[in-house]
């Protein structure tokens, strides 16, 4: 574990800096406090210069390019007028009604002042370690995550600094009239987004995203694939960046702990600690040996179809226009379950179909195309599924299987030669990349290989207890009929689950 200490070096130690000037300035000169302050200020400037040089050197490598620029000290001024009349904005994590664990009520259509104080900050200031009321011997310290939060060009404080005597205020004049007051805050180790990753390397891919570790990892994985040829490693790392779910970094690691805390699922190995959303489920336990590129949760699952075996975890696979052509409205879905084989012997050639998902017009066009191409090639799908050892003439229903598994048929006969499936559980995705950027795989997946991405959406189940349901009959005029229906005896409900595939307009 990295150990942080202060002073880190001689540039942080004003007393040592003064002693380096010689005994006259250190022991004899009466104004040594002024000299000490001056040398310390110059040392802080040189420390920032040194940090800038290291940042420039790191920017040469796409693996080490800094995510953010860091200023050891940044002077931020805030105005008292901004602390008045702060209202909720989209993204403030509030809900309509009473706030969880609070008596605060937010009503729709009503403006509500926030129980915090929000001020403007530089738009590219994204984080800071602490805030002080002065650099030397500060008497007031604000801690990140406890006393302040920086986001979207705003700095939010838990208390009003203009009511704190430890912060020095200064009047703001318009002519001779005081119109406002301001405070200067010293932001320590502020991170600024100068878009280093995009400006140095991301622009080559015309890929501009919010600066983050995941963004840098995505750029590197795509560039590696373009430079060296796409391997399984590049696909895994790119998907890891897009979903915000890290994969194993080292060649060999041993899992030591799997634990859920207040915010994350934490998986600790002897080399690293990996953080995942709480909604993810670990697929490893303490003591397991894991290797580089291995996934640790069920958010990402890879299915290699080259063996022709269909995993029971795959509910269905949808094939879009990339497989079917451009004459379809949307995809055709092949489910992983046995369905009846429908045989039509009315024509000169036997035609067979089985249930697939999709728009009715697409399904009809698909089977018309399959049968027409079979006739053109002299061997229809019915001929291929004929169970006779020495077929003569067209097969009948008795010569064909009664049921078929659409997905298994698809994998065994088509997908096993050049395709693999990646399943992503949407509930475990986080970060700022977004699944929409999976389009990048079109650049790096070889043209003879197909990567099928399945996004699994999960919903919370609900149970309805019909024992609390009662119904009364209402009679019409001139009738004298009354009855009470006992739900436990006469009322029943059934639920049918269907896979629906379509286009959102």
| Residue 181 neighbours by CB under 8 Å, 6+ apart | 79, 80, 162, 169, 170, 171, 172
In eight-state DSSP terms, residue 310 is P
Q: Is the pLDDT of residue 1 over 50?
A: no
Nearest to 320 by CA among 454, 225, 219: 454
The confidence score (pLDDT) of residue 7 equals: 66
pLDDT band, very low/low/confident/very high, at 90 (cuts 50, 70, 90): low
pLDDT band, very low/low/confident/very high, at 477 (cuts 50, 70, 90): low
The confidence score (pLDDT) of residue 284 equals: 94
The confidence score (pLDDT) of residue 278 equals: 86
| 8 A C-beta contact, residue 193 and residue 126 | yes
Highest mean pLDDT out of 67-71, 79-83, 323-327, 438-442: 67-71
| Distance from C-alpha of 298 to C-alpha of 243, rounded to nearest angstrom | 12
| Residue 340 neighbours by CB under 8 Å, 6+ apart | 354, 355, 402, 403
pLDDT, tens only, 320-358: 888 887 788 899 999 999 999 999 999 899 999 999 999
| Distance from C-alpha of 308 to C-alpha of 349, rounded to nearest angstrom | 29
pLDDT, tens only, 247-273: 998 999 999 999 998 888 999 999 999
The lowest-confidence range among 85-89, 115-119, 280-284, 456-460 is: 85-89
Highest mean pLDDT out of 8-12, 177-181, 233-237: 177-181
Q: What percent of the chain has pLDDT over 70?
A: 87
């Amino acid at each position: 574990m990295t150990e942080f200490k202060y002073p880190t070096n001689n540039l942080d130690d004003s007393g040592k800096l003064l002693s380096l000037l010689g005994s006259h300035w250190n022991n004899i000169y009466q104004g040594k406090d002024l000299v000490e302050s001056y040398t310390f200020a110059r040392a802080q400037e040189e420390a920032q210069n040194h940090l800038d040089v290291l940042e420039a050197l790191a920017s040469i490598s796409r693996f080490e390019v800094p995510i953010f620029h860091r200023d050891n000290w940044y002077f931020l001024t805030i105005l008292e007028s901004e602390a008045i009349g702060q209202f909720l904005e989209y993204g403030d994590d509030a809900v309509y009604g009473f706030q969880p664990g609070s008596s605060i009520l937010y009503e729709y259509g009503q403006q509500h002042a926030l129980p915090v104080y929000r001020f403007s900050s530089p738009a590219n200031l994204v984080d800071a370690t602490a805030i002080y009321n002065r650099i030397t011997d500060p008497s007031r310290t604000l801690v990140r995550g406890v006393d302040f939060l920086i986001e979207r060009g705003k700095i939010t404080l838990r208390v009003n600094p203009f009511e704190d005597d430890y912060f020095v205020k200064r009047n703001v004049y318009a002519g001779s009239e005081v119109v406002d007051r301001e405070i200067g805050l010293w932001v320590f180790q502020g991170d600024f987004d100068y878009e280093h990753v995009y400006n140095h390397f991301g622009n080559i891919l015309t890929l501009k995203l919010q600066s983050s570790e995941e963004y840098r990892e995505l750029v590197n994985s795509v560039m590696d694939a373009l430079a060296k040829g796409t391997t399984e490693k590049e696909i895994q790392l790119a998907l890891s960046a897009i979903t915000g779910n890290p994969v194993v970094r080292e060649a060999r690691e041993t899992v030591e702990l799997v634990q859920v805390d207040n915010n994350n699922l934490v998986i600790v190995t002897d080399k690293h600690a990996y953080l995942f959303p709480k909604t993810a489920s670990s697929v490893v336990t303490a003591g397991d040996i894991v290797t580089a590129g291995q996934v640790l949760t069920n958010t990402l699952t890879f299915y290699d179809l080259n063996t022709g075996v269909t995993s029971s975890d795959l509910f269905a696979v949808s094939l879009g226009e990339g497989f079917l052509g451009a004459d379809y409205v949307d995809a055709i879905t092949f489910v992983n379950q046995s369905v009846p084989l429908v045989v039509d012997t009315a024509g000169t050639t036997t035609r067979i179909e089985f249930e697939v998902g999709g728009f009715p017009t697409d399904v009809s066009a698909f089977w018309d195309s399959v049968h027409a191409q079979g006739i053109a090639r002299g061997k229809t799908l019915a001929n291929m599924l004929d169970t006779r050892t020495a077929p003569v003439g067209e097969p009948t229903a008795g010569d064909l299987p009664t049921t078929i598994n659409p997905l298994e048929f698809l994998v065994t006969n088509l997908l096993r030669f050049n395709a693999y499936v990646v399943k992503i559980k949407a509930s475990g995705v986080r970060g700022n990349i977004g699944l929409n950027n999976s389009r990048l795989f079109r650049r790096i997946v070889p043209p003879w290989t197909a990567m099928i991405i399945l996004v699994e959406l999960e919903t919370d189940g609900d149970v309805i207890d019909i024992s609390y349901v009662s119904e009364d009959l209402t009679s019409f005029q001139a009738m004298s009929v009354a009855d009470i229906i006992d739900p436990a005896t006469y009322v029943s409900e059934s639920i049918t689950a269907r896979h629906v595939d379509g286009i959102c307009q």
